[in-house]
Structure 1
Amino acid sequence: MPPRHRSSAAPLAWLYAALIVYASLSPFTGWKQPAGVPLFGFGHMPWQPYWTWFDVVSNLLGYVPLGALLFGAQVRSGRSVGWSALNAVMAGALLSLCMESLQNWLPRRVPSVADWLLNSGGMVLGVLIAMAVRALGGVDRWQVLRDRWFIHRSAGGIALLLLWPVGLLFPTAVPFGLGQGVLRLREAAAGWLEGTPWASWVTEGLHADELLTPLSRGSEWLAIVLGFLAPTFVAFSIMRPGWRRLAHVPAALALGLAATTLSTAMNFGPQHAWAWVTPAVVPALVVASVVALALAFAPPRGVAAFGLVALTMLVALVNQAPTDPYYAESLQAWEQGRFIRFHGIAQWVGWLWPFAGLIYLLARVVARDEAS
Structure 2
Amino acid sequence: MARGLSHRTRFAVAAWLSLLAVLYATLMPFEFGNQGVAQAWSHFTSLTFPKMGASARQQWVANILLFVPLGLFWTAWLSGYVRGVWGHCVVGLFVALLALATTATVEFLQYWLPRREPSLLDMSGNLSGGVLGVLAWFGLSGPGRRWLSLLRQGGLAALWWALLSYTVVYVLVAWLPWDFLLSWQEVSAKLDSDRWGLWRAPVSEADVGQWWVLRSMVVMITAPVGILLGWWLQRRAPALRGFGLLVSGAVPALAFGLFVEWGQFLTVSGVAEGGSALSRAVGIVLGLAFFAMRHHLGPDQLRHWARPLVATSVVPFLLLLVLINWGGKGFAMETGSVLAKLESLRFLPFWYHYTVPEAVALGSLIFHVMMYLPVGIGVWLWRWGARGITPRRGLWLAIGVAFLLALVMEAGKLFMAGLRPDPTSVWIAAAAAWLGWQACGVVWWGLRGPIERNARAMARADRSRGRAEASRQRSVASGSTYPGVESADEGFVRGGEGSTR
Normalising by structure 2, we get a TM-score of 0.40
Q: Distance in 1 between matches of 2:70 and 2:170?
A: 22
Give per-residue Cα distances to partners, 1:44-102, cap 9 Å, x unaligned: 431314522466993885566345522564379x4546475366335534542453144
> Structure 1 pair 84/7, CA: closer, same or farther in 2 (3 Å)?
farther
Structure-1 residue corresponding to 2:144: 142
1:1-372 matches, within 5 Å, as: 4=7, 18=21, 22=25, 24=26, 31=31, 33-37=33-37, 44-49=43-48, 51-53=50-52, 58=60, 61=64, 65-66=68-69, 68-71=71-74, 73-74=76-77, 78-80=80-82, 82=88, 85=92, 88-89=95-96, 91-112=98-119, 116=123, 119-120=126-127, 122-124=129-131, 126-128=133-135, 130-131=137-138, 133=139, 138-151=140-153, 164-169=170-175, 214=209, 222-229=216-223, 258-266=259-267, 273-277=272-276, 282-291=281-290, 294=293, 298=298, 317=320, 320-321=323-324, 340-341=357-358, 343-353=360-370, 354=373, 355=429, 356-363=431-438, 369=499
Q: Distance in 2 between matches of 1:114 and 1:73?
A: 27
Aligned-partner SS, 1:349: helix
Would you say the 8 A contact 2:65–2:129 is kept in 1?
yes
Aligned-partner SS, 1:33: coil
Would you say the 8 A contact 2:225–2:284 is kept in 1?
no
Would you say the 8 A contact 1:100–1:116 is kept in 2?
yes
More helix per residue: 2
Shift of 1:225: 3.4
Q: Distance in 2 between matches of 1:13 and 1:221?
A: 38
Give the AA of the match of 2:96: V
Would you say the 8 A contact 1:227–1:314 is kept in 2?
no
Would you say the 8 A contact 1:308–1:361 is kept in 2?
no
Give the AA of the match of 2:320: L
Would you say the 8 A contact 2:66–2:129 is kept in 1?
yes
> Structure 1 pair 222/100, CA: closer, same or farther in 2 (3 Å)?
closer
Shift of 1:359: 0.9
> Structure 1 pair 258/104, CA: closer, same or farther in 2 (3 Å)?
same
Give the structure, 1 or 2, with the largest relative contact order (CA under 8 Å, sep 6 or more). 1
Normalising by structure 1, we get a TM-score of 0.50
Greater radius of gyration (CA): 2
Q: Distance in 2 between matches of 1:312 and 1:295?
A: 28
Count of residue pairs the alignment pairs up:
292
Aligned-partner SS, 1:45: helix
Aligned-partner SS, 1:276: helix
Aligned-partner SS, 1:34: coil
Structure-2 residue corresponding to 1:199: none
Would you say the 8 A contact 1:224–1:281 is kept in 2?
yes
Would you say the 8 A contact 2:75–2:92 is kept in 1?
no
Q: Distance in 1 between matches of 2:268 and 2:43?
A: 38
Unaligned runs of at least 5 residues, structure 1: 176-209, 237-241, 325-334
Aligned-partner SS, 2:357: helix
Unaligned runs of at least 5 residues, structure 2: 1-5, 177-194, 200-205, 236-248, 330-351, 374-428, 443-497
Cα RMSD over matched residues?
A: 6.1
> Structure 1 pair 109/100, CA: closer, same or farther in 2 (3 Å)?
same
Give the AA of the match of 2:118: P
Aligned-partner SS, 1:286: helix
Would you say the 8 A contact 2:72–2:130 is kept in 1?
no
Aligned-partner SS, 2:433: helix
Shift of 1:160: 8.1
Q: Distance in 2 between matches of 1:102 and 1:63?
A: 18
